[in-house]
Structure 1
Amino acid sequence: MTLRQRRWAAYGSGRAVLAFLTALGALAGAALTGAPQAGAAQRATVIAPGVTYEEVDFQGAKGTARAHVLTVDLSDERVRVGLLYPRAVAARAAVSALADAQGAVAGVNGDFFDISESQHPGVEATGATVGPAIADGRALKAAVPAGQRFGPALPPGTTTRDVFGVDADRRARLDRLSLDGSVRTPAGSLPLGGLNQYALPVGSIGAFTSDWGSASRVRATCGTDTDRAAPCSTDTYEVTIRHGRVVETSDTPGGGAIAAGTTVLVGREAGAQRLRKFSEGEAVTVSHRLVASVARTPYRFAIGGYPVLKDGRPLPGLDDAASAVRTAVGAADGGRRLLLFALDGSPEYRTGLTIAEVARAMRALGSVDAFSLDGGGSTTLVARGPGADSVTVRNHPSGGAERLVPNGIGVFSTP
């Protein structure tokens, strides 16, 4: 019996017990003592050195759910984890396309994102994610205000600034990333309220760089810190900074690609009033960074979502009523082992699991900390087969095909 099977055999969860079955020998297809019967777990398949894939069935309150699980050994120097994204914050692509474009051997979808703007007529959804993101050690974006997020209600005590990341010491951990930024002019310094995000705090100034992409920046001035559906602001202003000088101003946020070496400042309400004082040719310096609450070494990779398991314990107040197809990521062995988890969306398993059940499932798989990512039609897990040079989708997306998503977690292997 493997370590994972021993952990599972010792695990129970009261009202909604999650069932795990071994696929080895005479026990194949037989339920463990005291657990409701479900399907069988396959023998783990090696995807690359330090990376394995398997399927595990769980019995939730609404029925059997099949999980596709990748285990990544971060202590293996040949393996690393990074952000999958289409080279722009406000853009989307299929997880399989992102993985193949970046050379990943496996991956899952990532953060919740701005998928619909039906409450703001004439304003298009940006496709940008809710939380912070770091790719290859570089800050791509900061978090939107809590009232502007898409996705299920956050568990008590969590925020849009929560991330799951891997630091420069190759340890996976839960953390929070806050924006620290400023706009400096000869007249003084102004605080920066946003970085490449689809929603800015009321009264703030946000910075958009070439990492944003070509999507319109109008959405950043819609809604409020507590109400995503509130009307767009009528008091806005935009200033374009190129090589440290103001080169253009506008009363309305624009769109289109932003050139390298250029930063577009968008202000709303009080932020707009401050930007109106800028004049063409004026020297302006914009600085920004994401500051971690926990890590003492820089993050090489970080992605948004929300925590569901911390120090081996499910967070209090997790929903245990709404079942759905879900994606999660977990850390074990002091952050040296990573688990990527995606439920199957085929009709046979579409009832899925509740968030509370996901937390218990991740703990049963060995995670000490776990983090929920976007689910439903977004849930996708991809991995290469033996000898393949491209990935295949291993779960069945609940929408019948891969949904285009803004980011994900990629697993990379160096032979």
Structure 2
Amino acid sequence: MNRRSAVIASCGAVFALLTVFVVPAGAAPDGSAVVRGVRYRQFDVAGAAGTARVHLLTVDLGDRHVRVRLLHPGAVAARETVSRLVETAGAVAGVNGDFFDITETQHPGVEATGATVGPAVADGRAMKAAVPPGQRFGPAPPPGITGREVFGVGVDRRARPGRLRLVGSVRTAAGALPLGGLNQYALPQDSIGAFTMWWGTVSRARAVCGTDTDRSADCDTDAREVAVRAGRVVTVSGGPGAGPIAPGTTVLLGRGSGARRLAGLSVGDRVRVRYGLVSGSVPYAFAIGGFPVLSGGEPLPGLDDRVSAVRTAVGVTPGGRRLLLLALDGSAGYRTGLTVAEEAATLRTLGAAEGFNLDGGGSTELVTRERGGIVIRSHPSGGAERPVPNGIGVFAVP
């Protein structure tokens, strides 16, 4: 399928003894090489709310011995600390990634999934699509953001921002039905979403809650699931399920009119499910969600310049060959952080032409691998590592 992604390959869990070190504020080396093509340094920036400490990884994508990939715990609806993600994947460094479904206090009895907001591509294959804009978690993005925005590295080994749009269909004897979601914690109203083995074991009940404009709205009572294997319906049920999805099986979950369309299917019926994420440019080898803050070397209009916080961001210099992974320190002396506008200005000062904001606050973390183990360079603002659903990993290759 040209310029489209399919299903993500397995990222097997590795259970190993993990040694993690936290570097005292101000004690980490400045401008040191992590491996060939990857350098780490730290410096301070004056922000409106006080001094912020920046931890920065500079990655030379032109070096054939360096790769950047999506870090994830093997499922969309799962979380792990950045240090564990880096360790199990064999990365030499990493930062946290996209915003995610962290709490469901508005929906009593519904489990928070831990799944990310935006699209994700791992090893050139689609992992998930974006939730509707009104279902987002995280700070308000600048005007015009659709929720489908990503930052990643193309198959040409150049980093770039872009958008990933889900294109898919469910073909039955009665005709083709549009596909509205892929492994996401919130489906559009009146749509049908596809869930694969890469969703994980968490309940899919959250996917039918809220509306396209209101995350806290009630859950649909009109929902239906159909499991498809080898081109035929194998099970049908009257609501969202939970537990693992077998390899080779796709679960179709419909809400509203989408559920009523699935109601016409019975066990044994032929069904063909097709989907992909379309980038409109060079296909992504890796992509992660968030929102842009810098374009063509200029800050986007409408960036927040009032709320300071600990933040994670990624930037790329002109030509897409040098990647900047930035995380603010969360220790007591620097916890005031920066505004989104100040974050964009910092990336610009570092030479970035494009900048992208990732999850922040207690999620912000940058780690490197040293001889003694994994080193946490940026101190988590909550005092301990927060498990996250994905991140950006830097790898050394022969």
TM range (shorter): over 0.9
- Out of 367, 376, 392, the residue aligned to residue 393 of structure 1 is 376
Which amino acid in the other structure matches residue 332 of structure 2?
P
Asked if 1:93 is matched to 2:80, the reply is yes
Q: What is the CA distance between 1:47 and its match in structure 2?
A: 0.2
Summarize deviations over 1:112-159 as a string: whole Å, max 9, x none: 000000000000100000000000001000000000000011210112
Normalising by structure 2, report the TM-score. Answer: 0.92
Which amino acid in the other structure matches residue 71 of structure 1?
T
Whether the 8 Å CA contact 1:104–1:411 is kept in 2: the answer is yes
Q: What's 1:346 paired with?
A: 331
Q: What is the CA distance between 1:404 and its match in structure 2?
A: 0.3
Q: What's 2:299 paired with?
A: 314
Mapped partners of 1:414, 1:226: distance in 2: 44
Mapped partners of 1:98, 1:210: distance in 2: 20
Whether the 8 Å CA contact 2:28–2:377 is kept in 1: the answer is no
Paired residue secondary structure (1:71): strand
Q: What is the CA distance between 1:333 and its match in structure 2?
A: 3.4
Summarize deviations over 1:45-77 as a string: whole Å, max 9, x none: 100110000001100011000010000000000
Alignment of 1:118-267 (within 5 A): 118-267=105-254
Whether the 8 Å CA contact 1:40–1:57 is kept in 2: the answer is no
Summarize deviations over 1:199-225 as a string: whole Å, max 9, x none: 000000000000100010010000000
Q: What's 1:62 paired with?
A: 49
Which amino acid in the other structure matches residue 212 of structure 2?
D
Alignment of 1:281-296 (within 5 A): 281-293=268-280, 295=281
Computing the radius of gyration from Cα coordinates, the structure with the larger value is 1
Asked if 1:333 is matched to 2:318, the reply is yes
Paired residue secondary structure (1:382): strand
Paired residue secondary structure (2:326): strand
Residue 87 to residue 201, structure 1, CA distance change in 2 (3 Å):
same
Mapped partners of 1:84, 1:76: distance in 2: 20
Normalising by structure 1, report the TM-score. Answer: 0.89
Residue 414 to residue 251, structure 1, CA distance change in 2 (3 Å):
same
Mapped partners of 1:101, 1:375: distance in 2: 23
Residue 113 to residue 252, structure 1, CA distance change in 2 (3 Å):
same
Whether the 8 Å CA contact 1:42–1:56 is kept in 2: the answer is no
Summarize deviations over 1:248-307 as a string: whole Å, max 9, x none: 1111110001011000000000100000000110111101100013x2x22100000000
Mapped partners of 1:158, 1:356: distance in 2: 16
Paired residue secondary structure (2:287): strand
Mapped partners of 2:232, 2:29: distance in 1: 60
- Out of 348, 364, 379, the residue aligned to residue 364 of structure 2 is 379
Alignment of 1:25-40 (within 5 A): none
Whether the 8 Å CA contact 2:311–2:364 is kept in 1: the answer is yes
Paired residue secondary structure (1:201): coil
Which amino acid in the other structure matches residue 355 of structure 1?
V
Summarize deviations over 1:92-123 as a string: whole Å, max 9, x none: 00000001100000000000000000000000
Aligned-residue CA RMSD in angstroms?
A: 1.2
Mapped partners of 1:244, 1:211: distance in 2: 19
Which amino acid in the other structure matches residue 380 of structure 2?
P
Which amino acid in the other structure matches residue 240 of structure 1?
A
Whether the 8 Å CA contact 1:107–1:383 is kept in 2: the answer is yes
Asked if 1:75 is matched to 2:62, the reply is yes
Which amino acid in the other structure matches residue 410 of structure 1?
G
Q: Which piece of structure 1 moves more, 152-161 or 316-325? A: 152-161
Question: How many percent of aligned residue pairs carry the same amino acid?
Answer: 66
Whether the 8 Å CA contact 2:227–2:234 is kept in 1: the answer is yes
Which amino acid in the other structure matches residue 139 of structure 1?
A
Q: What's 2:388 paired with?
A: 405
Structure 2, unpaired ranges of 5+: 1-25
Mapped partners of 1:331, 1:340: distance in 2: 9
- Out of 280, 284, 302, the residue aligned to residue 299 of structure 1 is 284
Q: What's 1:4 paired with?
A: none
Which amino acid in the other structure matches residue 77 of structure 2?
A
Q: What is the CA distance between 1:42 and its match in structure 2?
A: 5.7
Whether the 8 Å CA contact 1:41–1:57 is kept in 2: the answer is no
Summarize deviations over 1:178-197 as a string: whole Å, max 9, x none: 00000011221000000000
Mapped partners of 1:312, 1:154: distance in 2: 18
- Aligned residues, how many? 373
